[in-house]
């Protein structure tokens, strides 16, 4: 299979304009976590709505208790043609710390073939690759080879709380033959990838309250339990010295990956020393009996995501803080369940919390881990389409991050989910200087078009 000439020519003509359009999308600071950006988040939804409307989709911006879901449908494929659902998200992570961005987070800039902007790769750039593919096919051919439903949500970065209820509610309308999601990364530049597993998540906030207010550390220190020190002691109980998680029952539901999948992972061209250098750490961590890829793709974690207590400005202030806070999250692997991990975490913290402080654990959000069935026409079509666009057969990879909705789609709609992403390692998805490879954006939209062509030709129903 190769990319059809009519499409290829039109992609080549439109590329510059499409990048300009993506820039406009990226300039909208649709930070879903921050109420001060609510108007921007709405503006991003309206932008997506308008784009699909213009290309002839039937579009609805559906309110939720949080940010709206944009639902776009094109159902004019020949009778008997299958229907595929594309999922993406128009919201982005907070951009802080702003001073660490080389160019402003919401002013897209291309340097060395990389498009820098908050949301460039996660996920506006990848969502827009689908928009660009569908739009170009409609422009050139006046029609699509399959029926397409697009769901663009605005709460992926805050846990997609309202998406599963939305899918559930519109289950019939969303009936399809498979779901396609581009919100992940390729294994390496030039190696297109099909992502076959995701870790789940259980994200907590731990709050420790000691004295009723901040105290003078001289006048009170030594007789009052320090809530920042108490928090440190609680956190330090969560692992042993080898990185094993010490929360009772934490590993009980872990289902080992099949030996052939592990064997495949070990064959991937992966240089752990390169990874260390890229990360910039003096040495790597985690349980020593696993390779880095196994640690990232097949093992659960317990990480501190944030710490705050007392005085954090310049110089010295002799305060004994009244409160302390940690954000702590666990990545989960099949078949760990966030609700069960929540119970285990709460029991553990209650067990180890020192006297003299009051500790609360709040489960901010969770998502189940996921593992794909690696057979069937959707995966076969994806392999061909990726090979056509990138000139190389794709690899099957895993992912340490979470896309909770993947499991939801699979479970509610009862169809396979294809994760075909165009990010790259080091893309800084949740950090300053997030970027997307401009080449991957261009090849990605071609691969997406090829996928729909193949799915239309093959007939999956």
Binders in 232-261 for a copy of itself, by CB under 8 A: 232-233, 235-239, 241, 243
| Cβ at position 354, least distance to a copy of itself in Å | 8
Contact at 8 Å (CB) between 324 and 228?
yes
Q: Contacts with a copy of itself in 88-147 (CB under 8 A)?
A: 93-94, 96, 100
65 is an interface residue for a copy of itself by CB under 8 A: no
- Euclidean distance between CA atoms 192 and 161, whole angstroms: 30
How many CB atoms lie under 10 A from the CB of residue 418? Answer: 24
Q: Contacts with a copy of itself in 22-51 (CB under 8 A)?
A: 33-35
> Which of 5, 99 has the CB closer to a copy of itself?
99
| Cβ at position 11, least distance to a copy of itself in Å | 29
Interface region with a copy of itself, contact rule CB under 8 A, candidates 42-50, 252-260, 293-301, 371-379: 293-301
The residue from 110, 164, 191, 225 that contacts a copy of itself (CB under 8 A) is: 225
- Enclosing H/E stretch for 347: helix 338-352
Spacing of C-alpha 347 from chain mean position? 29
> Which of 58, 289 has the CB closer to a copy of itself?
289
- Euclidean distance between CA atoms 230 and 246, whole angstroms: 18
280 is an interface residue for a copy of itself by CB under 8 A: yes
Interface region with a copy of itself, contact rule CB under 8 A, candidates 3-11, 48-56, 62-70, 274-282: 274-282
Nearest 5°: the CA angle 421, 158, 84 is: 40
The residue from 102, 311, 343, 360 that contacts a copy of itself (CB under 8 A) is: 311
Q: Contacts with a copy of itself in 161-200 (CB under 8 A)?
A: 185, 199
Q: Contacts with a copy of itself in 415-434 (CB under 8 A)?
A: 428-433
271 is an interface residue for a copy of itself by CB under 8 A: no
Evaluate the omega torsion of the peptide bond into residue 123 and state whether it is cis, within 30 degrees of 0: yes
312: buried, middle or exposed (CB in 10 Å: 19+, 13-18, 0-12)? exposed
The residue from 99, 212, 260, 267 that contacts a copy of itself (CB under 8 A) is: 212
Query: DSSP label at 162?
Result: T
Closest CA to 268 of 180, 370, 371, 195: 195
315 is an interface residue for a copy of itself by CB under 8 A: yes
Contact at 8 Å (CB) between 208 and 325?
yes
Round to the nearest angstrom and report the end-to-end CA distance of the chain: 21
């Amino acid at each position: 299979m190769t990319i059809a000439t009519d499409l290829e020519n039109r992609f080549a003509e439109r590329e510059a304009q499409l990048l300009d359009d993506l820039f406009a999308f990226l300039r909208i600071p649709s930070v879903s976590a921050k109420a001060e950006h609510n108007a921007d988040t709405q503006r991003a939804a309206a932008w997506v709505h308008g784009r699909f409307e213009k290309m002839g989709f039937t579009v609805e911006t559906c309110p939720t208790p949080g940010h709206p879901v944009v639902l776009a449908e094109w159902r004019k494929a020949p009778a008997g043609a299958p229907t595929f659902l594309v999922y993406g998200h128009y919201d982005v992570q907070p951009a802080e710390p702003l001073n660490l961005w080389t160019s402003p987070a919401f002013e897209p800039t291309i340097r060395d073939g990389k498009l820098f902007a908050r949301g460039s790769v996660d996920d506006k750039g990848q969502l827009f690759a689908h928009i660009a593919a569908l739009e170009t096919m409609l422009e050139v051919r006046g029609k699509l080879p399959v029926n397409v439903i697009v769901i663009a949500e605005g709460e992926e970065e805050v846990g997609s709380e309202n998406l599963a209820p939305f899918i559930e509610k519109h289950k019939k309308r969303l009936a399809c033959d498979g779901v396609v999601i581009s919100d992940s990364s390729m294994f390496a530049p030039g190696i297109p990838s099909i992502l076959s597993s995701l870790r789940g998540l259980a994200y907590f906030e731990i709050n420790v309250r000691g004295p009723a207010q901040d105290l003078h550390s001289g006048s009170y220190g030594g007789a009052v339990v320090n809530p920042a020190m108490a928090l440190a002691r609680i956190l330090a109980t969560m692992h042993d010295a080898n990185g094993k998680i010490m929360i009772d029952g934490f590993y009980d539901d872990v289902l080992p990956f099949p030996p052939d999948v592990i064997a495949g992972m070990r064959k991937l061209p992966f240089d752990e020393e390169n990874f260390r250098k890229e990360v910039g750490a003096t040495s790597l961590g985690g349980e020593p009996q696993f390779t880095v890829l196994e640690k990232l793709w097949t093992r659960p974690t317990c990480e501190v995501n944030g710490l705050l207590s007392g005085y954090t400005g310049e110089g010295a202030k002799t305060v004994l803080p009244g409160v302390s806070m940690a954000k702590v999250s666990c990545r989960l692997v099949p078949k760990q369940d966030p609700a069960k991990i929540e119970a285990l975490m709460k029991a553990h913290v209650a067990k180890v919390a020192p006297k003299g402080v009051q500790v609360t654990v709040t489960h901010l959000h969770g998502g189940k881990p996921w593992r794909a069935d690696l057979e069937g026409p959707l995966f076969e079509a994806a392999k061909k389409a990726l090979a056509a666009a990138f000139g190389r057969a794709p690899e099957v990879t895993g992912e340490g991050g979470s896309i909770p909705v993947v499991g939801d789609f699979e479970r509610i709609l009862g169809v396979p989910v294809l994760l075909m992403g165009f990010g790259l390692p080091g893309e800084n998805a949740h950090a300053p200087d997030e970027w997307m490879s401009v080449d991957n954006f261009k090849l990605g939209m071609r691969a997406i078009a090829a996928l729909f062509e193949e799915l239309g030709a093959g007939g999956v129903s």
